[in-house]
Amino acid sequence: MSRLGDLFRRLRGKPHRQNSGAMPTVRYATSPLLASRTPPWRVKFLIGAIGLGFAVLIGRAVWIQIIHTDFYLQQGASRYERRIELQASRGRILDRHGEILASSVPAPSLWAIPKDMDASRDELKALAKLLGMPVMDLTKRLASNPNFVWLRRKVPDATALQVAALKVKGVYELRESKRQYPEGEVAAHIVGFTNIEDEGQEGIELAYQQQLSGHNGSRHVIKDRLGRVVESVGDLVPPEDGQAIRLSIDAKVQFYAYQRIRDAVAQHKAKAGSVVVLDVLTGEVLALANAPSYTPDDRRNLTGAQLRNRAVTDTFEPGSTMKPLIASIALESKRVTPNTIISTSPGRLTIDGSTISDSHPHGDLTVEQIIQKSSNVGTAKLALTMQPREMWDMFTAVGLGQKPQISFPGVVTGRLRPYKSWRRIEQVTMSYGYGLSASLFQLAHAYTIFASDGELIPMSLLKREGVGDEKPRPVLAFKAAFRPEAASPFAPTQVATATQLRSDELAPVHGARVISPETARAVRKMLNMATLEGGTAPKAQTQGYSVGGKTGTAHKQEGKGYAGNKYRAWFVGIAPISHPRIVVAVMVDEPGDGIYFGGDVAAPVFSQVVQQTLNRLGVMPDMDVQSKILSVPAEVESF
């Protein structure tokens, strides 16, 4: 009972007498803290703060779960769902017979997660040695990104195996696609190459990048925390592999041409050289060879001089190779016949204060002999009977001053000024190839008018499956008679459309008619005479086949003038003369052994390339095959 009384008294606030020595009793009812009242604003603030907190939470929930739910679903999926790209295989590049010029093969690429690596100094040294880089460079590369770095891409399989044998933690291997070029330096300037991302950088690889590359595919997968694929989700988009590109190039003819020009450049200590081989029957390019070349698989220390496909990118003054075109104009306009005699005495001709000279006096020459002996004076006299527009129309009709219509990067236009600005002396010098410029490919293309009975054959770097059914095609009819007051005899009077013909049989491709068949055959005879005794190119003769062509030799331009001891030598010819099948053009740049005439430097290359190409094409010989071609001295060329 005493305890209940004590409790009662405490509740009433009355003091309780305790025994002496006990702790004093606290009177809670009289505490100043309990006596003070809470301010009303504080209660309202607390209630408002709590209410606001609930409102924010509710709003955030609505934002996440209702308004912006798609975003957060995507973010959640991104933590475990991945989109894997399925790489398309790059298309192959083939020659006309299906031989591989470029293809893609699997290759290992090495990468690392630097933050996971714990390699020792010795392991880093060994790794750097296998990667072919200094240890310092490897260290810098690893420090550039803690999560991912490429160590070296598309390495040889042997290198990847050696790196794997080191067992360095954090170093991994990935299989990629690597471009391979079986023909190496032989076809490098045609095929070109790709960069590390498999994008075309030069040649056909660049020209047909879109067709070769194809389209990558994709698949969606779920990965676990270790990056392993657990499940495929969504639709699979398969990759579309790139198309195969089948070129008109014959790998064997390309090899012959490259081998011959490479040897000629070395023999004559020349700066460079090029060969173009055209099939005038099918309108296809059989070879484009250049020296020096390079290996597409190994482009270390590569120079711009090695990269250039000089046959289509370099221009030069064509020199005496223009003379047959001047003869064609004179014959087509009926000014002369092949046997018309023109006096070239005394071997010099002065026009407007400038003197044109032959290598030595020839006296009276027929038009045929002017081409055979390459007389500057005789050609100049033929040109002076013409209007400037006639020459300009002929030059443009055969493609000079215009970009060749082939799909290839770096193809040049050359230079041909409008005829209205020509001075008299310029008209004369252009007649034998000075004052204008062209590429070797343009010259070879121009000579198709002589090989195809007067038609300029359209050329292709892609294989044509064949032609057969005659259908409308470009026809340019030219007036035969020359009238000074009339338009140029080489102005087109009719143009029709061209169509590709059937692919089940082979027949000649037709092009734009520039001269008559009679004129073409007459000039072909002149070109044949240039390769016989008394001509400038007897070294162009070929066993079993009749040939014809024109030499060219010219001083190289330097600044605003010409170098006295630097030359270009070339030869453009046709074979066989009786039934032409190919046009071959050869150029040697800066022969340095003291021999520089086209008939001595370029004509032998022509002979060798023609021999091997016609054999490859299965063309029957049109002459008795002699055990040895008679060697006769060449006529000294005027240039």
Question: Do 256 and 185 belong together in one domain?
Answer: no
**Cα–Cα dist 587/276, whole Å:** 9
Lowest mean pLDDT among 72-86, 245-259, 383-397: 72-86
The answer to whether residue 637 is domain-embedded is: no
Residue type, 435: G
Angle of helix 517-530 relative to helix 323-332, nearest 10 degrees? Answer: 140
**Cα–Cα dist 112/152, whole Å:** 10
- For 323, the 3-state DSSP assignment is helix
Question: Do 501 and 577 belong together in one domain?
Answer: yes
Taking residues 209-217, what's their average pLDDT? 87
Yes or no: say if 159 and 151 are a contact pair by the CB < 8 Å rule.
no
Encoded tokens for 36: 């003070």
Question: Do 284 and 240 belong together in one domain?
Answer: no
CATH of the domain at 207: 3.90.1310.10
Residue with tokens 């092949």: 338
The answer to whether residue 77 is domain-embedded is: no
> Which residues are catalytic, by number?
320
pLDDT confidence of residue 287: 97
Taking residues 98-126, what's their average pLDDT? 88
How sure is the predictor about 604, in pLDDT bands with cuts at 50, 70 and 90? very high
Lowest mean pLDDT among 261-270, 580-589, 626-635: 626-635
How sure is the predictor about 426, in pLDDT bands with cuts at 50, 70 and 90? very high
Nearest to 239 by CA among 102, 90, 82, 106: 90
Question: Do 218 and 335 belong together in one domain?
Answer: no
**Cα–Cα dist 87/238, whole Å:** 9
Query: How many structural domains does the chain have?
Result: 2
Please identify, among 224, 246, 268, the residue that sits at the C-terminal boundary of a domain: 246
Taking residues 430-451, what's their average pLDDT? 95
Report the residue count for the chain: 639
pLDDT confidence of residue 9: 60
Taking residues 232-240, what's their average pLDDT? 72
How sure is the predictor about 581, in pLDDT bands with cuts at 50, 70 and 90? very high
Angle of helix 251-267 relative to helix 603-617, nearest 10 degrees? Answer: 160
Taking residues 418-431, what's their average pLDDT? 94
Other beta carbons within 10 Å of 374: 32
Element (H, E) at 1: none
pLDDT confidence of residue 29: 57
Q: What pTM did the predictor assign?
A: 0.79
Other beta carbons within 10 Å of 182: 14
**Cα–Cα dist 99/173, whole Å:** 32
In terms of pLDDT, which residue wins out, 19 or 481? 19
In terms of pLDDT, which residue wins out, 319 or 237? 319
- What single string gives the DSSP state of each residue in 194-246? B-TTS-B-SHHHHHTHHHHH-B-EEEEEEE-TTS-EEEEEEEEE--BPPPPEE
Taking residues 125-142, what's their average pLDDT? 89
The answer to whether residue 209 is domain-embedded is: yes
- What single string gives the DSSP state of each residue in 84-106? EEEPPPPPPEE-TTS-EEEEEEE
Residues 280-295: pLDDT tens digits? 999 999 999 999 999 9
Residue type, 97: H
Encoded tokens for 46: 């607390």
Question: Do 474 and 584 belong together in one domain?
Answer: yes
Question: Do 147 and 255 belong together in one domain?
Answer: no
Angle of CA points 355, 357, 363, to nearest 5°: 125
- For 12, the 3-state DSSP assignment is helix
Question: Do 260 and 239 belong together in one domain?
Answer: no
pLDDT confidence of residue 22: 55
In the predicted structure, residue 478 carries a pLDDT above the cut 50: no
Yes or no: say if 222 and 234 are a contact pair by the CB < 8 Å rule.
no
pLDDT confidence of residue 503: 34
Question: Do 326 and 379 belong together in one domain?
Answer: yes
Burial (Cβ within 10 Å: 0-12, 13-18, ≥19) of residue 267: middle
**Cα–Cα dist 480/330, whole Å:** 10
The answer to whether residue 500 is domain-embedded is: yes
Q: What is the dihedral of CA 488, 489, 491, 496, to 10 degrees?
A: 170
The answer to whether residue 3 is domain-embedded is: no
In terms of pLDDT, which residue wins out, 475 or 51? 51
Question: Do 218 and 331 belong together in one domain?
Answer: no
3-class SS string, 387-424: CHHHHHHHHHHCCCCCCCCCCCCCCCCCECCCHHHCCH
The domain of 182 spans: 84-246
The answer to whether residue 263 is domain-embedded is: yes
% of the chain residues with pLDDT over 70? 82
Taking residues 490-519, what's their average pLDDT? 59
Yes or no: say if 326 and 336 are a contact pair by the CB < 8 Å rule.
no
Question: Do 362 and 462 belong together in one domain?
Answer: yes
Lowest mean pLDDT among 45-59, 77-91, 236-250, 513-527: 77-91
- State how far Cα 94 lies from the chain centre: 15
Question: Do 133 and 93 belong together in one domain?
Answer: yes
Question: Do 540 and 573 belong together in one domain?
Answer: yes
In the predicted structure, residue 17 carries a pLDDT above the cut 60: no
The answer to whether residue 95 is domain-embedded is: yes
pLDDT confidence of residue 511: 87
How sure is the predictor about 146, in pLDDT bands with cuts at 50, 70 and 90? confident
Lowest mean pLDDT among 134-148, 339-353, 439-453: 134-148
In the predicted structure, residue 235 carries a pLDDT above the cut 80: no
The answer to whether residue 214 is domain-embedded is: yes
CATH of the domain at 366: 3.40.710.10
